[in-house]
Amino acid sequence: MLNEAVRVIARVTSQPEKVEELKSILLNLIEPTRHEKGCVSYQLLQDKTDSAEFVFIEEWANASAEAAHMTTSHVQEALSKAQPLLAKAPDIYRYVIIA
């Protein structure tokens, strides 16, 4: 395929009193993820007006690299630790880059 790259936007919403604890868990994902094969970029954002809203903006070389990411021990461990701190289930959307 000509353009296999996948962009992911994953929104993670903290319970109000768990923001710093969740932030620390999410920050721990950065380094191991950036070293994964096929990880082009992986950035963590926090909403300017609602600090309980975090977003990962991700770019993967292809869909299989992104699928492999979800099975890594660092993601599985973060999901398990983050679960009780979330206000709702994460929203994960996958996109193709058109420009």
- Interface residues toward a second copy, by CB under 8 A: 6-7, 9, 23, 27, 30, 43-49, 53, 55, 57, 93-99
Of 57 and 87, which has the nearer Cβ to a second copy?
Answer: 57
Q: What 3-state class would DSSP assign to 55?
A: strand
- Find the shortest distance in angstroms from Cβ 35 to a second copy: 14
Residue 42 near residue 52, CB atoms below 8 Å: no
What's CA 97's distance to the chain center, in Å? Answer: 18
Of 55 and 78, which has the nearer Cβ to a second copy?
Answer: 55
- Find the shortest distance in angstroms from Cβ 98 to a second copy: 5
- Find the shortest distance in angstroms from Cβ 23 to a second copy: 7
Count CA within 13 A, CB hemisphere, residue 15. Answer: 8
Of 63 and 86, which has the nearer Cβ to a second copy?
Answer: 63
Which among 26, 28, 32, 34 is positioned nearest to 10, based on CA atoms? 26
